Each structure stands twice: as structure tokens, then as C-alpha cells.
Chains A and B, each alone.
Chain A
Amino acid sequence: MSMSIPGPGRRLGALVAVALVVAACSSSATPAPSVAPATQAPAATQAPATQAPATEAPSASAPAQGGATTIGSAFSDAVPKAAFQAMMDYCTQQTGVKTTINTVEHGAFQDALNSYLQGTPDDIFTWFAGYRMKFFADQGLATNMNDVWAKVGDQFSDAYKTASTASDGNQYFLPMYNYPWVVIYRKSLFQDKGYAIPKTLDEFIALAKKMKADGLVPLAFGDKDGWPAMGTFDILNMRMNGYDFHVGLMAGKEKWTDPRVKAVFQKWAELLPYFQEGALGRTWQDAAQAMITKKAGMYFLGTFAGEQAPDPAIHDDLAFFPFPVFGNEWDAEMGIDAPIDGLMLSKTHANPAADTALLVCLASPEAELTFLKSNPNNVAANKNADTSGYTDFQKQMQTILAGSNRIAQFLDRDTRPDFAGPNGMQGFLQDFLGNPTQDLDAYLGKIQAFWDSLPPL
């Protein structure tokens, strides 16, 4: 009797054993096949684009270019997706260049960018400025757009140009818009309770204490996704040690074991009692809701937190101020994180003249404003953009950005991606938040050791 069972049972078992091997190595197996076919010489691909004849590309106002181009877009949410389409439609009309947009969900877009750019990428793709742009430019996966910058460069401030320039001194990025990281609050709550906007850290702490006494969470906070806490580290580091030190640290010129970094984490630990409890289990969206529903008094985040208040009445009630100064030599610099989003050119774009014409148009204030009309949580990158149509929310952003003398991108845009990601800083910052009283010297030693273990770029 028992003889009848072993047959199929054993076969199933064997199948399962095979599946086990497959499961164990399938994720590692994925990259293996790409060893062979990737034979392009990255160094060679950097050169040709500079030769793109600048004379061929007509100015944005003369619809003469024609041609077609494809655009890889990470604007997958409904609102920005429609806005991006409208922006492209505007430039198609202006330049005669036909555009095809291929949209990919933004998380997947970021994760896949590496292999996407090595395969058959679209001619133009959406990306971020700063180190994250530099990384792909340095790997020879992008084409510089010096010809575009030659035409439109005077319409962007130096900060934008710097953020668009890679290690070789060429521009590989066209900024579309940016948004500052600020302390967001509801005007009506501040009015009702008679709170004043804090300018210094002492005033900030005093206000936080008052809010606590009023039964409010002073600062909403959520770091389940690992990256929002980076903004808090950035601003504390810039306020306490200045922009140059911060950027040096991000670039690996300064050490994480530096006592100045330790001071930042000590200060953060001191401030943590004013932050919303249980941040590691909360998304930024939920934290924003706490501020929007007046359970929390303030929230330090990018202005995109406004997306969580789709009701215009509530959105109009949102206001914000720059993170308070600490009363030291860096006060005047008013450093801020204001990440820039924009466009890049892939290494093998088919129709350079059409792409240049299109990008010149996309750099124009009109194109940027077309995009921002339906997404008012950002401001246009082009300094000639007509700001009269801005909402109060956008005007405030404009004012704060104008008052910031040093603009950083964001931790995961200012440093190498393998250091910033889930293996590195995301995990480290969560570790700190979960255990802020730990031995900071040992903690920072681990971060520096991880940095040192990364391969040279």
C-alpha cells in the first residue's frame, strides 16, 4: 500500500528541490546574462554629442525642426502625468518635434534605470540633479547637453548650472522645477493658538514645548520608507556645520567619525522628544495627515507634503517657514535642501537636432509653467518664469528659495547611490531613530567603515 505513494511524492519533492535552488539563486542569476552582451565602450560614447551642430537647432519660437523623439517618464501619478503630457504637447506645437512618452511607475523607474540606460533607452528621460545625475553621466550612460545650455544657460541661476554639471565640466541635465524642504504648518492652527513663527532654535523649542502642553505633537514625523529622515539630518548638519562641510561629507571628503557629525546626532537626539513617536512605522503620507488634521503642529518635509491636502481650502491654509537658525556662523548662509527634478539625454539618442530643439523649448518658462499649472507644489527652475500666476504656496517657496544662499539637493542626491540606499544611510538613520541613546562613536564608526568598504567609483 505504502508503495503507491512514494512515486509522485518523490517526484514532487525533487521538483521542489529544484525550485529551491532556483529560488536561492534566481535573484543573483538575473544580472549574469548581461555580462556577455554589454560590450559598448562607455568612454567613446561621451564624445559625439558635443559635436551636435548648434546651428541646426532653431530657436524655440520657430516651429521648423520636425522629427520625433521618445521620452521615458517617471511621472506615473495621474496629476503630474497629465501635466507632463501637456508640457510636451506645448513643445511639440512650438518645435514640430513629435514626442512619445513612455511612463513607468516612479519606484520601478528608479530601480531599473541602471539596466534601462544600458539597453535601448528613450532619447530623453526624467531624472534628478546633483550626484545622482553625475553617477550616470560618469558611467557614460548619458549625453551632455552643452548645446542646449549654450542657448538657455543665461535663464538659469548658477546654483542650477552647478547641479546640472557632471565631473567632466559638461552639463548633462536640464532642470524643470524644484521644491524646498521646510517646516510646514496650518495657518489657522497657528492663529487659533496664537503661535508665532520661530526664527531661532530656542524659539522653536519654546514653541514645541507650548504645543506639547496644548496636547499637540510638535513635529509630525514618519520614516518607514527610510528616506524622509535624511532631510532632517541634512538641515541639522547644514545649520550646525555649514553647507561646505555637509557637501564635503556627502562627497566623502569629510569623515563620518568627525566630532562635528557626532554633534549633529547629539542635537537630533535632544530634539527627538518633540518629534512624533513611532516614526519608523509611519509613512510620510500618514505623518503629513497628522499635520493636516491638526494633530501635529508642524511637519518638516519637502513642500510635496501639500499633495496630501487635495482639498483647495485646506491647501490654501498650509504655510511654511525655513528651519530655524542655530545662532552660529552659518546663520547667514541659510542652507536648504531643494531638490531639482528635470531631464537627461540618453547615450544613444537617435535624432540630436530634434532633441536639442525640444529641450530648448522645455527649458522655456512657458513650458515649465504649463507643467506647474496642475502641480502647484513646486516652482519653476527658469528664473525668467512669470510668477504672477503662482499660488500663495508657490510664492512662499519662491521667497524662501530666494533667501537661501546655499542650496543642497538631498542626502540621496548629494552622495553616491549605493551609500545612500537601503543598504547604507536609510538603514543607518533608522537604526539611530530606533535607538538614539546608543554609543554614537561606535555608530558613526560603522557608517564610515561602510563608506570605506564601497568600491571606488
Chain B
Amino acid sequence: MTDRVAEMSVKVPPLPVTGGTATDLVTPGRKGRGPLLLSRRDMVILALMAGIPAFIHIFFVWVPTILSVLLSFTSWNGIGGLDRIKVVGLKNYSDLVSIYQPFWPAVQHNLIWLGVFLLIATPIGMLFAVLLDKDLRGTRFYQSALYLPVVLSLAIVGFIAQLFYAPEQGLINNLLGTTGQNGQQLIDWLGNKSLNLWAVLVFASWRHIGYIMILYLAGLKGVDPTLREAAKVDGANEVQTFFRVVFPVMAPINIVILVITLIESLRAFDLVFIINKGLNGLELLSVLVTNNIIGEASRVGFGSAIAVVLLTISVGPIVLYLTRSQKGIGE
């Protein structure tokens, strides 16, 4: 008995689940780790601390997720009970890729969104942070000005975007002289399919830059100044100091920034929904989920199928992140 408990404890060092006296639980720690001593009270507390979050997590995250996956194989208009749900197999998925017109544009737009954030907005935000970290004159002013859009909800940003891009009354067309009146050419910023996504991305980036900037700035403030001094003494210039010393030191923050950029791109929704309900060139997967599930005649099964696609795409970065951070622990 004692042997078995000891064996189990070795396998799962922090959480011995079987009962036994305190002495049973003394395990010969590996790699010089001290002996693990847990009283009954400790175990109850541990169980509660692990159990409650686990319950919340499973109940509010995994149960709905699994239900969504199950619903994605059914057809249901959201009315009535379980008996009204019809299993249709993979029909939702095959319709999605072949018949449902907004799907592929939405996938494409999500990828463009991600690309712009990753390659343009996030680096600009980081650059601003680095510049602001230099304590230029008026730093606080720039900081507030750049951070301001983050305080605004994306719905408000959507309204502002419309004031800029409206065809006749909009600021941009009036400045450019492209209102389409008095013989002028009209630039239809929000109505032209090949323009509107980029027009919206300008505003999305405007907000994202401020967000990244403030996060990165906080990280930069935490970098030990002696490191920079040492680099200076060794004769490194500004660029070298940043890329060879500061950037590697900030690895954990960099990963947070990367993950946030991914999330922001995948969950993009508010801005396009406010502008034109995510139609006509502004389709995004999140909007398609909403359009199918919420509304007068919902197609819950079909919308769930789109949600599953979105989930599958999201799982990629999560796995990447977890494997990388697990590796960090191992070392």
C-alpha cells in the first residue's frame, strides 16, 4: 500500500489524490526537490482551489464548446426542444464550403486582418513604445494621444470611421474632393468591396497600435537599465542594443503580444458589424456565426459549424503557445 501511494505520488507530485497519513505522502523528491508534506486540510483546500476553477472552466468553456461541436452536425432553428433538432451529418460543413457564399471571403478577410495586425500594426505599436520609452519631451502627451483610441469601444470607433468615410458628408471625400458631386469622381470607401476592408483596417490598426504600445511600454519599463548600460559599454548602438539585448530579454512579453494580436484578429467583430453588419466585403467568421445564430430565423446548427471552424483555427495558436511555454518550464 505504502509503495503504491509513493509510486503514484511520484507520477503526480503536486496532487496526491488517495488518502493516507501524512507520512505516507512523504516522497523522495526528484532532482533535489524537498519532501512533499500534505495534511488532510491542505488536501481539502487544494481540492477546492483546483476543483472550483476546473468546474467553472469545464462548465462554461468545454461543455458549451462540445455542445457547439455536436450542434454543428444538426439542423435546428432554435425553436422548441430537443425533439426539433435534426441530425444532418456533415451537410452543414459541405454547404459551408460549397454553397454558402460569405464563407470563403470571411476566411480570407480574417487572414488579411491577421496579416495586417501581425506585420504592420503590432510592429508600429512596438516601435512607438520604444520611442516613448526614451523619455522624449512631451512623452506623456504622445502616450495619451496614442492610447486614446483603446479607451473607446470598437463600436464608437465604428461610428468615427463612418464619419470619415461617408460618401457625401464624409471628411475624407470632402478633403480629397471625391464626393461624386459637381462632376467629381466618387470614392465609395465603405461600399466598394475592394476598398472597404482596408479602410476599416486603418481604424482597427489605429486602436490596436495604442493597445500594443501600452503593453510593450510597460514591459520596456521593467527591463533592467544595467543591461543597456552594459551594452553601451560594450559599444553596441541603439539598434543593436534593442535587437540583441532588450528584445530577447522581453521574450515573455513578446509572446503575450503575439497571442493578443492573434486573438484580436480572430475575434474582430464590432467594427464591421457597426459599419454594415459584416456584409459586402466586410465578412468575418465571427459575424457569420452571429448572423446565423442570432436573429429571427436562426440556423443554430449551421452557425455552430462556422463556430467550430473558428475554434479549430484558434486552437492552432493556443497549442503553439502552450507547447512553447511548457518547454520554458522544462528547462
Q: Which residue numbers of A lie inside 8 Å of B, CB to CB?
A: 1-2, 5-6, 9-10, 12-14, 16-36, 38-40, 42, 110-115, 118, 132, 135, 139-141, 224-226, 277-282, 286, 290, 295, 416-418, 421-423, 426-428, 430-431, 434, 446, 449-450, 452-455
Contacts and interface: CB of A to CB of B under 8 A. Distances in A.
Contacts of A423: 100, 102, 288, 291-292, 299
B79 interface: yes
A13 B255 contact: yes
B299 A455 contact: yes
A455 B86 contact: yes
Contacts of B307: 24-25, 27-28
B249 interface: yes
B270 interface: no
B328 A418 contact: no
A29 B252 contact: no
Given A21-B314, A24-B266, A449 B99 contact: yes
A281 B192 contact: yes
Query: Which among A19, A21, A141, A225 has the greatest number of chain B C-beta atoms within 10 A?
Result: A21
A293 to B, nearest CB: 10
A417 B295 contact: yes
Contact of B296 (A10, A16, A132, A428): A132
Given A12-B256, A450-B99, 13 more contacts: A5-B249, A5-B252, A22-B61, A27-B289, A33-B64, A278-B167, A281-B167, A281-B196, A295-B181, A418-B298, A446-B101, A449-B99, A455-B75
Contacts of A140: 80
Contacts of A18: 57, 61
A290 B290 CA distance: 33
Interface in B47-70: 57, 60-61, 63-65, 67-68
A278 B296 contact: no
A17 B222 CA distance: 23
A68 B222 CA distance: 65
Nearest to A9: B252
B158 interface: no
14 contacts: A12-B256, A21-B61, A23-B314, A26-B64, A29-B65, A31-B298, A40-B80, A112-B294, A277-B186, A280-B192, A282-B191, A423-B100, A434-B281, A450-B101
A110 B299 CA distance: 15
Interface in B168-189: 168-169, 180-181, 186, 188-189
B153 interface: no
Contact of A25 (B95, B165, B277, B311): B311
Contacts of B169: 286
Interface residues of B, number: 87
A446 B188 CA distance: 26
Contacts of B266: 20, 23-24
Interface centre among B65, B99, B296 (most CB of A within 10 A): B296
Contacts of A16: 256, 259-260, 263
Q: Which 6 A-B pairs have the closest CB atoms?
A: A281-B191, A280-B191, A9-B252, A28-B307, A29-B64, A417-B297
B124 interface: no
Residue among A14, A25, A416, A430 facing the most chain B CB atoms (10 A cut-off): A25
Contact of B68 (A32, A110, A111): A32
Interface string B26-61: 000000000000000000000000000000010011
A296 B141 CA distance: 46
Interface in B287-331: 288-300, 303-304, 307-308, 310-311, 314, 317-318, 321-322, 325, 328
B165 A422 contact: no
B210 interface: no
B279 interface: yes
Nearest to B292: A423
B136 interface: no
Nearest to A417: B297
B188 A278 contact: yes
B9 interface: no
B82 interface: yes
Nearest to B325: A10
B99 to A, nearest CB: 5
A132 B297 CA distance: 10
The winner among A9, A16, A452 for most chain B CB atoms within 10 A is A9
Contacts of A114: 77-79, 295-298
Which of A16, A113, A428 neighbours the largest number of chain B CB atoms within 10 Å of its CB? A16
A17 B293 contact: no
B40 to A, nearest CB: 29
A422 B263 contact: no
A118 B290 CA distance: 19
Interface string B135-171: 0000000000000000000000000000001111100
B80 A6 contact: no
A25 B300 CA distance: 13
A421 B188 contact: no
Given A25-B68, A38-B80, A278-B180, A421 B291 contact: yes
B167 A31 contact: no
B78 A115 contact: yes
